[in-house]
Amino acid sequence: MRRPLLVLRVIISVTWYKSSEASSVSSYLRIRNLYKNFGDFTALKDISLEIEEGEFVCFLGPSGCGKTTLLRAIAGLDLQSFGSIEQAGRDISALPIARRDFGIVFQSYALFPNLTIERNIAFGLENAGRSKTEITGRVAELLDLVDLADQGKKYPAQLSGGQQQRIALARAIATSPGLLLLDEPLSALDAKVRVHLRHQIKELQRKLGVTTVMVTHDQEEALSMADRIVVMNHGVIEQVGTPTEIYREPGSLFVADFIGETNQIHSTITAANGLTVGKCALRSAAHGFAQGQQVIVTIRPEDIIPHEPGSRRAESDHSALAVTVGEMEFLGSFWRSRLTGAELGDEVLYADFSINAVRRLSLAAGSALTIELPADRLIAFPAGGDDVGNG
């Protein structure tokens, strides 16, 4: 009698989950209306966020944006002033660290200097009713997992930075916590080691399926590792989305500017999908601005398509402009080119042209060419808003 009932229950809950994707019931970590005040300074303003089980989420933003504060609130290291945090359906808002369920890796690694690698990893396994052999086995397994099987007898100071970081990771996941918190785990490492560790951490996370939150100020790190990125600025969430969403469809001028590089051009709205830049009218992605409104329109340098001068064979939906090439800067796989022209007025565009395109069009400083601006890559944001970066 019992079994069918259970099956029914599962079916119901699954369908219910599907019917309401945004529903918080299924979220593993649920943050609601979080505030953090340090005296008069508000470090976090009304943060609400949901993280699914098994997800890898990055908090990304410039220093002082509140990303570390948010992580420390989740860990209970620095309690939020207002708001609630739920983990696996349990309200952990005010719980002490020891009664929460997470492993954490700090930027400093915080390995115990006087204990061997083995004892560091075993630290959290002791006092939990495990036998000695059980612990030894688990430690060996973890050392294997982070590719440091032969380093167990050494002291932390005898390992390189990258190795220490992996030990810290092994220690954090030793007790199989439900949540893994990484606080700028790679920022103290060399560039090469960092790239290597990125893959290793991501791999490990996928293998273990542990819900992971990582704080970083390095957009490359976030874009390459995260399932979803939470872009933060001045204590608020600017945008939440997958790496491609964040990059292709920035939700605010700040995001457009902070992630990757982008041209910012002053512009006036002319129609529901049209605007003017300098002296020419451009078709853009659909936007909700009223006619005549001043906006900033953005386009990434690599989205600008070069054509031979004079060609006006742009697809119907795309605008074309005649420009002159200014300085060209060689950046390895492409040339960054400064573009000006009568049609642009006082505005300047930067475009990244592939080496092939430069050769094909024989581009050099002073060349004339026509550029195509795909309408769906021209994204408008309100002008005069704050956080306009320096482009």
Q: Does 208 bind other proteins (CB under 8 A)?
A: no
Binding residues with other proteins: total (CB under 8 A): 46
Please identify, using beta-carbon distances, which residue of 212 and 319 lies nearer to other proteins: 212
Q: Does 349 bind other proteins (CB under 8 A)?
A: no
In the window 8-67, what residues touch other proteins (CB under 8 A)?
Answer: 33, 35, 37, 42, 45-46
Q: Does 113 bind other proteins (CB under 8 A)?
A: yes
Q: Is the dihedral of CA 266, 268, 269, 273 positive or negative?
A: negative
* Phi, psi of 139, deg, nearest 5: -60, -45
* Phi, psi of 215, deg, nearest 5: -100, 135
For other proteins, the binding residue among 54, 83, 178, 326 (CB under 8 A) is: 83
In the window 187-206, what residues touch other proteins (CB under 8 A)?
Answer: none
Q: Does 86 bind other proteins (CB under 8 A)?
A: no
Q: Does 291 bind other proteins (CB under 8 A)?
A: no
Residue 253, token pair as written in the block: 């001028």
Residue 120, token pair as written in the block: 């560091």
Rounded to a whole number of angstroms, the CA Rg of the chain reads 26
Stretch that binds other proteins, among 104-112, 239-247, 253-261, 327-335 (CB under 8 A): 104-112
Q: Which of 68, 94, 91, 72 is nearest to 82 (CA)?
A: 94
Q: How far apart are CA 52 and CA 88, in angstroms?
A: 10
Q: Does 155 bind other proteins (CB under 8 A)?
A: yes
Cross-strand pairs, 44: 36
* Phi, psi of 330, deg, nearest 5: -85, 120
Sequence-distant (6+) residues with CB within 8 A of 91 are 84, 85
For other proteins, the binding residue among 53, 86, 123, 161 (CB under 8 A) is: 123
For other proteins, the binding residue among 12, 14, 25, 79 (CB under 8 A) is: 79
Query: Which residues would be at the binding site for other proteins (CB under 8 A)?
Result: 33, 35, 37, 42, 45-46, 75-77, 79-83, 93-100, 102-104, 106, 108, 110, 112-115, 123-124, 126-128, 155-158, 171-172, 174-175, 177
